[in-house]
Amino acid sequence: MILALETSCDDTCAAVLTPAGAVRSNVISSQGVHDQFGGVVPEIASRHHLQLVNAVVDDALARARTTLDDVSLVAVTQGPGLVGALLVGVATAKAIASARGLPLAPVDHLQGHVAASFLPGEATTAAGAAPPLEPPFLCLVASGGHTFLAHVRDHASFDVLGRTLDDAAGEAFDKGARLLGLPYPGGPHLERLAADGDPQAFAFPVADKLAGLDFSFSGLKTALLYKVRDLGEQETQARRADLAAAFQRAIVEALAHRVERAVEETGVQRVSIGGGVAANGALRARLAGVVDQLHVPPRALCTDNAAMIGAAARHLTALRPGEYDDLDAYPTGRRDL
C-alpha cells in the first residue's frame, strides 16, 4: 500500500492507495478555523496540522482496512506551500518511513494536482466513473495559489503552456467573494450565490486580449471593486447574486478561452482540470461545451487532498532509507508558476 500525506495549506490530508493506484481511503480534515481571519493564518495552520496529523493518518489506514505493516511506500507533499505547514507533513512522513525502513517519495504539490487525472474521473455517463486519463493530455490547474495550463506528456512531468501573470483563479474567486461579503474560502460561496444571478447582468473584463496562453485576473477584481463602489451599499446588496454570476462568468470565460486555444494550438484533444476551482460547476459545464474529451476529477480530488499525492508518487523515483534524512520542504515553486 502507498500511504500519502498532504499538508501544504490548511487541510490535513492522508490517503491510502494500492500499488496499482486504486484509492482505498482519502481523508481530508479541513481546519475551519481560518474563515474568521478572511484567509489562512500560516502559524495557526501549522499548529493544527501538528494536532491533527497522527489522527488523520490513523483514520486513513483504518478506513482502508489496513495497517502500517502493509505500507510499502510513503509519499508526501514537499512544496510549494506554507513552509511550516509542509514541514509537519514532511517530518511525519520521514518519521513513519524511517521507523519502518520504507522508501519515501517527495511530491510537488502542482504535480499532485495534475496527477489527480491519473485517478478515475467523475461519471459522465450512466456507465459509472470515467477511466483514469493517460498522457498525453492538457491539464488546466486552477487553485488558490496557482493557475496554469500544462501539456502532460508523461506521468512524471509536464510542460507549462501558460500561467497567471498575477492572481490565481481561486484567489480571484476569494477576493471577489470578500467584496460581496462572503466568508473564506469564497469560491464555493460565490458559486452558490451566482446560481440565483444573471451572468449577463454586468460586463466584467475577461482579459482575453492577452497574447498566448497566459492568464490575468487582477483587473477583474479591481473592476468588481469599482462596480461595488459605484452601486453603493444598498444596490450592491440587492444585486449580489447578479454581481456574483457576472464575476464568475468572467473567470470561467478567461479559463475556457485559453483551454480552447491550447487545444487548437497543440492538437491535443483530451483535457482535464484540477485544483480547487475545478470543483466549480459553471467551469465544468462551460468546458464540457468546448472540449470533446473532458476528464473531470471528483470534487474531493480537485481541492487539496493526499490521494493525488499518492497518484503522483507511483510514477516518481522514491528515496531509499538513509537518502531522505535531510529532506526539507520548499515554500515556493521549483519553477516560475
> Does the protein bind ligand KG4 through residue 276 (CB under 6 A)?
yes
Q: Which three cell numbers stand for residue 127?
A: 456507465
Q: How far is CA 276 from CA 117, 146, 319, in A?
A: 14, 10, 29
Residue of closest CB approach to Zn ion: 143
At residue 238, what are phi and psi to the nearest 5 degrees? -65, -30
Judged by CB under 6 A, which stretch of 25-33, 68-76, 127-135, 269-277 contacts ligand KG4? 269-277
Binders in 175-204 for ligand KG4, by CB under 6 A: 185-188, 191
Whose Cβ is closer to ligand KG4: residue 97's or residue 279's?
279
Find the binder of ligand KG4 among 80, 89, 197, 275 (CB under 6 A): 275
> In the complex, what is the shortest distance from the CB of residue 112 to Zn ion, in angstroms, rounded to a whole number?
7
Whose Cβ is closer to Zn ion: residue 10's or residue 304's?
304
Judged by CB under 6 A, which stretch of 132-140, 166-174, 210-218, 220-228 contacts ligand KG4? 166-174
Q: Is 124 helix (H, G, I), strand (E, B) or coil?
A: strand
Binders in 16-75 for ligand KG4, by CB under 6 A: none
> Does the protein bind Zn ion through residue 304 (CB under 5 A)?
yes
Judged by CB under 6 A, which stretch of 92-100, 139-147, 149-157, 227-235 contacts ligand KG4? 139-147
6 binds, among Zn ion, ligand KG4, none (CB under 5 to 8 A by kind): none
Helices (H), the chain: 42-63, 83-100, 109-115, 169-179, 186-194, 218-238, 240-266, 281-290, 299-302, 307-313
> Does the protein bind ligand KG4 through residue 112 (CB under 6 A)?
no
Whose Cβ is closer to ligand KG4: residue 9's or residue 207's?
9
CA–CA separation, 66 vs 58, rounded Å? 10
The alpha carbon of 170 is separated from its chain's Cα centroid by a whole number of angstroms, namely 9
Residues whose CB falls within 8 Å of the CB of residue 120, separated by 6 or more in sequence, listed in order: 129, 130, 131, 132
**Cα-Cα-Cα-Cα dihedral sign, residues 223, 225, 226, 232:** positive
Q: How far is CA 168 from CA 79, 257, 260, 300, in A?
A: 17, 16, 19, 20
Q: Is 138 helix (H, G, I), strand (E, B) or coil?
A: strand
303 binds, among Zn ion, ligand KG4, none (CB under 5 to 8 A by kind): ligand KG4
Whose Cβ is closer to ligand KG4: residue 10's or residue 242's?
10
Whose Cβ is closer to ligand KG4: residue 100's or residue 299's?
299
> In the complex, what is the shortest distance from the CB of residue 191 to ligand KG4, in angstroms, rounded to a whole number?
4
Find the binder of Zn ion among 12, 117, 143, 280 (CB under 5 A): 143
Closest CA to 217 of 180, 281, 164: 164
- At position 92, the amino acid (one-letter code) is T
Closest CA to 231 of 205, 201, 207: 201
Residue 172 has what DSSP assignment? H
> Does the protein bind ligand KG4 through residue 145 (CB under 6 A)?
yes
> Does the protein bind ligand KG4 through residue 106 (CB under 6 A)?
no
Return residues touching Zn ion (CB under 5 A): 143, 304
Return residues touching ligand KG4 (CB under 6 A): 9, 143-145, 170-171, 173-174, 185-188, 191, 275-277, 279-280, 303-304
